[in-house]
């Protein structure tokens, strides 16, 4: 009796876990749809800004802009984007392993400034003995453009002031619902786009006013804002995809375990009934 009661309790516990993971899967699916729309909606704007920058950056004067200069003084700065919550499979592990490999391969980055977004990377860096200069907790799972633009503007100001000479962002790039890849993106200095003169297809002829260098003063900070915001959006949608997949796998595993426990319960109950019948028959035979 004790064995069947214990199995019955485990079946109930597994059923409760299955209901929780199914609910979390549904929530992650809904959040994924919304965040995917945000991530994909920003890509045309980012591409358009860089197309214009590519046209403007053809002259030597334009390429001499400070935000294109790779030889500025200062420290390396690495920003790592992780999640605030867990239960999202290998998402955080992949990002943090990529960040650690980058820091170990680049001594300047290891000795430079490391900033972190999300709570899940705090214990990782502490365990590896890597100091975090700044922990950003203001973004949550739906960062606003104004919040990200303030951070990007801070990086631009520090870059122009000579405090940092390079800013890299380690995050999960969203490629599709079935593929996400950890990536190290150089945010500053910006790399001038390649000359698109030989590109196939029609080209847009732009008329610029004011002149290129003056217009770049406004466009390049906007490009930095767009790049960083796209990285945040890709990280958020990748997190929701990973959580959706992890919770579906957990729900399926809970269902399989529930079926296996039910079979064990039925066998144990059948053995118990057989034992009771044997005892009754033996008792009746002893009375004859």
Q: Contact, 102 vs 225, CB < 8 A?
A: no
Span 257-272, mean pLDDT? 90
Span 11-27, mean pLDDT? 94
The pLDDT score that the predictor gives to residue 196 is 46
Strand, coil or helix: 81: strand
pLDDT of 121 higher than 70: yes
Q: 178 is written with which tokens?
A: 């079935």
Q: 198 is written with which tokens?
A: 């030989």
Q: How far apart are CA 69 and CA 188, in angstroms?
A: 9
Span 54-77, mean pLDDT? 81
pLDDT of 16 higher than 50: yes
pLDDT of 187 higher than 80: yes
The residue count for the chain: 288
pLDDT of 207 higher than 70: no
pLDDT of 209 higher than 80: no
The pLDDT score that the predictor gives to residue 131 is 95
pLDDT, greater one: 126 or 3:
126
Per-residue pLDDT tens digits for 136-148: 999 988 899 999 9
**Cα-flanking dihedrals φ and ψ of residue 171, to 5°?**
-155, 175
Complete DSSP assignment for 141-204: TS--HHHHHHHHHHHHHHHHTTSEEEEEEEEEEEEETTEEEEEEEEEESPPPPPP-TT-SS--P
Terminal Cα-to-Cα distance of the chain (whole angstroms): 29
The pLDDT score that the predictor gives to residue 210 is 66
The pLDDT score that the predictor gives to residue 248 is 93
Span 212-223, mean pLDDT? 82
Residue 255: which of 9, 19, 6, 8 has the closest Cα? 19
- Residue 92 C-beta-side C-alpha neighbours within 13 Å: 20
The pLDDT score that the predictor gives to residue 163 is 93
Q: How far apart are CA 125 and CA 116, in angstroms?
A: 10
What residue ranges do the domains of the chain occupy?
2-23+248-287, 43-198+207-245
Query: 43-198+207-245: which CATH architecture?
Result: 3-Layer(aba) Sandwich (3.40)
Q: Contact, 186 vs 244, CB < 8 A?
A: no
**Distances, alpha carbon 138 to alpha carbons 24, 130, 144, 201, 282, in Å:** 24, 22, 10, 43, 74
Span 166-177, mean pLDDT? 94
Domain 2-23+248-287 class, CATH top level: mainly alpha
Task: Give me the percent of the chain exceeding a pLDDT of 70.
Answer: 90
Q: How far apart are CA 193 and CA 31, in angstroms?
A: 34
Span 201-216, mean pLDDT? 65
Q: How far apart are CA 164 and CA 157, in angstroms?
A: 9
The pLDDT score that the predictor gives to residue 55 is 74
């Amino acid at each position: 009796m004790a064995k069947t009661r214990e199995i019955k309790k485990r079946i109930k516990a597994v059923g409760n876990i299955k209901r929780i993971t199914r609910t979390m899967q549904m929530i992650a699916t809904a959040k994924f749809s919304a965040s995917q729309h945000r991530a994909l909606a920003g890509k045309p704007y980012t591409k358009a800004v860089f197309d214009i920058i590519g046209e403007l950056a053809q002259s030597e004067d334009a390429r001499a802009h400070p935000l294109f200069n790779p030889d500025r003084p200062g420290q390396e700065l690495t920003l790592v984007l992780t999640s605030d919550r867990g239960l999202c499979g290998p998402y955080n592990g992949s990002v943090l392993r990529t960040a650690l490999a980058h820091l170990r391969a680049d001594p300047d980055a290891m000795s430079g400034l490391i900033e972190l977004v999300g709570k899940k990377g705090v214990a990782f860096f502490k365990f590896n003995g890597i100091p975090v200069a700044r922990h950003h907790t203001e973004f949550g799972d739906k960062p606003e453009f104004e919040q990200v633009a303030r951070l990007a503007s801070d990086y631009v100001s520090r870059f122009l002031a000579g405090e940092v000479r390079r800013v890299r962002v380690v995050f999960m790039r969203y490629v599709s619902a079935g593929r996400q890849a950890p990536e190290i993106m150089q945010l500053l200095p910006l790399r001038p786009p390649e000359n698109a003169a030989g590109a196939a297809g029609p080209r847009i002829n732009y008329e610029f006013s004011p002149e290129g260098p003056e217009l770049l003063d406004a466009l390049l900070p906007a490009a930095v804002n767009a790049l960083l915001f796209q990285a945040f959006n890709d990280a958020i949608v990748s997190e929701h995809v990973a959580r959706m997949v992890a919770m579906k796998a957990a729900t399926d595993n809970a269902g399989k375990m529930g079926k296996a426990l039910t079979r064990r319960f039925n066998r144990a109950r059948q053995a118990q009934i057989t034992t009771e019948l044997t005892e009754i028959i033996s008792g009746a035979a002893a009375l004859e």
